[in-house]
Chains A and B, each alone.
Chain A
Amino acid sequence: MLRILYVEDDPTAREYIHKGLRERGYSVEAASDAREGIDRAAKGPFDLLILDVMLPDSDGFSLLEELRARGIDTPAIFLTARGEIADRIRGLNLGADDYLVKPFAFAELLARIQAVARRSLAEPDDGRLEIADLVLDLRRHAVERAEKPVDLTPKEFSLLEYLLRNKGQAISRAMITEKVWGHGFDTYSNLIDVHINHLRKKLDHDFEPKLIHTVKGIGYVLEDRSSSGRDT
């Protein structure tokens, strides 16, 4: 069970998100300011931190810096009411951390929690990402389905790589937009459907089992749902 520390000063938001996460089966501890957050984090351990950027006694960034200075390197998701934090996030630890601008969809938060929690997975030794009979070779920059080469554009390749790295996890359209195309395209996350359709045509159209599935209200998941090799 994923243990989450959630620091948020707004009581309404804290109550609902706390409740929502608990109902999803996460073990959540909530703190209302930076001091309490640090105290609880020190007693830890946690798998993930969800930090509001604007706290009454400090801000989420300083809180994380303080924790990192104490040797706690739990990945973090920042929640912010301001849009301009992208730069500060870049300065932190882009590999492990993420952020969401308020107002956000709860499903979006869930998708990010799963992605961040899984991001600690190691890079495959042989440079091959696989699911069912689909293989993506990072070194050769090639993709095969049922041992037949599939011709992908560079962006389709990146998109598939991202899905493969998060296989079995529901990925939101916004996450795909941000991670594959960049923050400048965030208003056009609905166009991701078009890109996924193109990818589906090349990967799933003539093959079984289907691997790319739509997750209602969130986005997509790459998963082998055939009885033989169900991926977790």
Chain B
Amino acid sequence: MIRRLGIGARWTLRYTLALLLVISLFATYTYSQITRRQERNARLLLELQVKEVAEAVLRGGHASEAVARTVERSVTVAEQDLKLGLQVFDASGQLVVTGGSLERHPLEVPPELFGGGRDRLWREMDFGDRYAYLILAVPVRGGYVQGSLYTRKFVRGSRELRDIYYWSIPLVLLFTAGLGYWLARGSLRPIQEINRTARRVSGTRLEETIPTTGSGDELDELANTLNDMITRIRESVQRMRRFSANAAHELRTPLNAMRSRLEVTLEKERAPEEYRRILTELADEVASMSDSVHGLMRLSQSEAGLSPEQRVSVDLGGLLTEVVEFFEPLALEAGIEVNLKVDNAVTVPGDPSWLHRLFANLLHNAIKYTPKGGSVSLGIEKSGERVGVFVSDTGVGISGEEVERIFEPFHRVGATPEAPGIGLGLPLAREIARAHGGEIALQTEVETGSTFTVWLPLDS
């Protein structure tokens, strides 16, 4: 199996390839430009020489002294390694003047010149080395002037350039790749460090944090984000442990009582009426345990969150009216006044059943902890993108240390025997608010009362 490349290696490879592409384009361009210029220079030079001889032919004929002199001078003056060669043919095709390198290698008459009406002919001759000779033939007065130039000198420049490219480009690439890898490794090292710590932490040691350099750069931000996440996970794990311990305790206590009771009952024969009485009492115990289980189930359901198909547009005013109507008889019996004030229509996206449950729990809670003659007020206030539903009572209030724990499952304020439920009302209310993207705020003063405000995002 091929090991997957790390980010560092991938970056290096990618940048090296990009650089290779850029350098190749540049090299090809410079090479072709230089080659073309050299070639043009060679042609210009040869054309100049041939033209001078042709002019001499025009002035004095093919075999004149002037022609011979011009050829002689040109060949002598021209640089040796250009190997300039010139020759003149008369109208009968007879070689009349020759000079320079063509003295040793006289060329055949190029057949294309005859009957073609062309006034010049370029040709490249290869004597074992590509483009070694550049040849120009120009017809003049029935015959023609031919010149040749050894082009190696011109070609040499671009050849050398090419050779330089051949060895320098790989070298540059190699160097760049090395440098790139080194840089990438350097900038990735803190990430590896963070990764190592995160892996260690995600196992069991949730109390550890990822160290930051304090520079406030992106990597510090990453470390901070992860630390926040670890903190949240740690808190939720602790909450979960506490929750399951409490839940087990909550169920174990009645279970234990029932078990003893059953065992004692089975110790000896009893009268049928006694069996009936005991079974009825046990059935009641089981029913209350069932309620606990249902409560736990609802809590875990709301913790799992709201599915999109559960979300509908819910009219908060109407919903609160229903909740208040449901609890009004209870409040009347308890001698508590319930006021609901809804000014305008406000809708939130959510599940009506869950929201009923949320506000029912808050209102029930308020009625439960408000003494006779007190009052509970409910209302809606808008604030930007959110809406707050407050449930405010003139009840007993919640003391400082209780405030922290009031939303924890199984915590019962005052733990009065007549207060029903197993302490899941407020935790459930908060989980439902959270499932709707909201939160519950609490303002409270002992002996004065409490105000729970549910903040929910408005319908967009």
Interface residues of A (CB under 8 A from B): 82-84, 86-87, 101, 103-105, 153-155, 181-185, 187-188, 190-191, 194-195, 197-198
* Complex A-B, nearest 6 residue pairs according to Cβ-Cβ distance, in ascending order: A184-B356, A184-B353, A194-B329, A184-B357, A183-B353, A103-B290
Minimum distance in angstroms from A159 CB to a CB of chain B:
11
11 A-B pairs besides A87-B310, A103-B286, A184-B352 with CB distance below 8 A are A83-B298, A181-B356, A182-B356, A183-B356, A187-B357, A187-B425, A188-B326, A190-B420, A191-B326, A191-B327, A198-B329
**Chain B residues closer than 8 Å to A82, beta-carbon distance:** 297
Cβ contact within 8 Å between A184 and B354: yes
Tell whether A188 pairs with B293 under 8 Å between CB atoms, given A87-B310, A194-B329. Answer: no
Minimum distance in angstroms from B244 CB to a CB of chain A:
18
Interface set, chain B 303-352, CB cutoff 8 A to A: 307, 309-310, 322, 325-327, 329-330, 333, 352
0/1 interface trace, chain B 139-174, chain A, CB 8 Å (1 if under): 000000000000000000000000000000000000
**Chain A residues closer than 8 Å to B364, beta-carbon distance:** 188
Minimum distance in angstroms from B322 CB to a CB of chain A:
7
**Chain A residues closer than 8 Å to B326, beta-carbon distance:** 155, 181, 185, 188, 191, 195
Cβ contact within 8 Å between A105 and B287: yes
Cβ contact within 8 Å between B352 and A83: no
**Chain A residues closer than 8 Å to B355, beta-carbon distance:** 184
0/1 interface trace, chain B 409-420, chain A, CB 8 Å (1 if under): 000000000001
Cβ contact within 8 Å between A104 and B330: no
Listed A/B pairs (28) with beta-carbon separation below 8 Å: A82-B297, A83-B294, A83-B298, A87-B309, A87-B310, A101-B297, A103-B290, A105-B290, A153-B325, A154-B325, A155-B322, A182-B352, A182-B353, A182-B356, A183-B353, A183-B356, A184-B355, A184-B356, A187-B360, A187-B425, A190-B420, A191-B326, A191-B329, A194-B329, A194-B330, A194-B333, A197-B329, A198-B329
Minimum distance in angstroms from A117 CB to a CB of chain B:
25
A181 to B353, CA, bound (A): 10
A188 to B356, CA, bound (A): 11
Binding site of A, secondary structure by majority: helix, strand, loop or mixed? helix
**Chain B residues closer than 8 Å to A101, beta-carbon distance:** 294, 297
Minimum distance in angstroms from B236 CB to a CB of chain A:
21
Minimum distance in angstroms from A87 CB to a CB of chain B:
7
**Chain A residues closer than 8 Å to B421, beta-carbon distance:** 187
Cβ contact within 8 Å between B301 and A84: yes
Tell whether A155 pairs with B325 under 8 Å between CB atoms, given A83-B298, A84-B301, A101-B294. Answer: yes
Number of B residues with CB within 8 Å of any CB on chain A: 32
Instruction: Give the residue among A84, A184, A187 with the most B Cβ atoms within 10 A.
Output: A184
Tell whether A181 pairs with B322 under 8 Å between CB atoms, given A105-B287, A188-B360. Answer: yes
A198 to B364, CA, bound (A): 19
**Chain B residues closer than 8 Å to A86, beta-carbon distance:** 353
A133 to B294, CA, bound (A): 41
Counted as pairs of residues, one from A and one from B, with CB atoms less than 8 Å apart, the total is 67
Q: Which of the residues A84, A103, A182, A187 comes within 8 Å of B295, measured between beta carbons?
A: A187
**Chain A residues closer than 8 Å to B420, beta-carbon distance:** 190
Q: Which of the residues B286, B291, B295, B360 comes within 8 Å of A185, measured between beta carbons?
A: B360
A86 to B351, CA, bound (A): 11
A184 to B353, CA, bound (A): 4
Tell whether A83 pairs with B301 under 8 Å between CB atoms, given A103-B293, A181-B326, A191-B329. Answer: yes
Tell whether A195 pairs with B329 under 8 Å between CB atoms, given A83-B301, A104-B290, A182-B352. Answer: yes
Interface set, chain B 273-307, CB cutoff 8 A to A: 286-287, 290-291, 293-295, 297-298, 301, 307
Minimum distance in angstroms from A154 CB to a CB of chain B:
8
Minimum distance in angstroms from A2 CB to a CB of chain B:
25
A194 to B326, CA, bound (A): 10
**Chain B residues closer than 8 Å to A198, beta-carbon distance:** 329
**Chain A residues closer than 8 Å to B322, beta-carbon distance:** 155, 181-182
Instruction: Give the residue among B333, B352, B356 with the most A Cβ atoms within 10 A.
Output: B356
Minimum distance in angstroms from A177 CB to a CB of chain B:
9
0/1 interface trace, chain B 356-373, chain A, CB 8 Å (1 if under): 110011001000000000
Minimum distance in angstroms from B352 CB to a CB of chain A:
7
Closest residue to B286 on the A side, CB-wise?
A103
Closest residue to B284 on the A side, CB-wise?
A217
A197 to B332, CA, bound (A): 12
Tell whether A191 pairs with B357 under 8 Å between CB atoms, given A83-B301, A87-B310, A184-B352. Answer: no
Instruction: Give the residue among A104, A153, A182 with the most B Cβ atoms within 10 A.
Output: A182
**Chain A residues closer than 8 Å to B330, beta-carbon distance:** 191, 194
**Chain B residues closer than 8 Å to A105, beta-carbon distance:** 287, 290
Closest residue to A189 on the B side, CB-wise?
B291
**Chain A residues closer than 8 Å to B286, beta-carbon distance:** 103
Minimum distance in angstroms from B303 CB to a CB of chain A:
12
Cβ contact within 8 Å between B356 and A185: yes
Closest residue to B283 on the A side, CB-wise?
A105
**Chain B residues closer than 8 Å to A185, beta-carbon distance:** 326, 356-357, 360
Instruction: Give the residue among B295, B322, B329, B420 with the most A Cβ atoms within 10 A.
Output: B329
**Chain A residues closer than 8 Å to B287, beta-carbon distance:** 105
**Chain B residues closer than 8 Å to A188, beta-carbon distance:** 326, 360, 364
A195 to B325, CA, bound (A): 10
Minimum distance in angstroms from A135 CB to a CB of chain B:
24
Minimum distance in angstroms from B87 CB to a CB of chain A:
102
Minimum distance in angstroms from A98 CB to a CB of chain B:
16
**Chain A residues closer than 8 Å to B360, beta-carbon distance:** 184-185, 187-188
Minimum distance in angstroms from A215 CB to a CB of chain B:
16
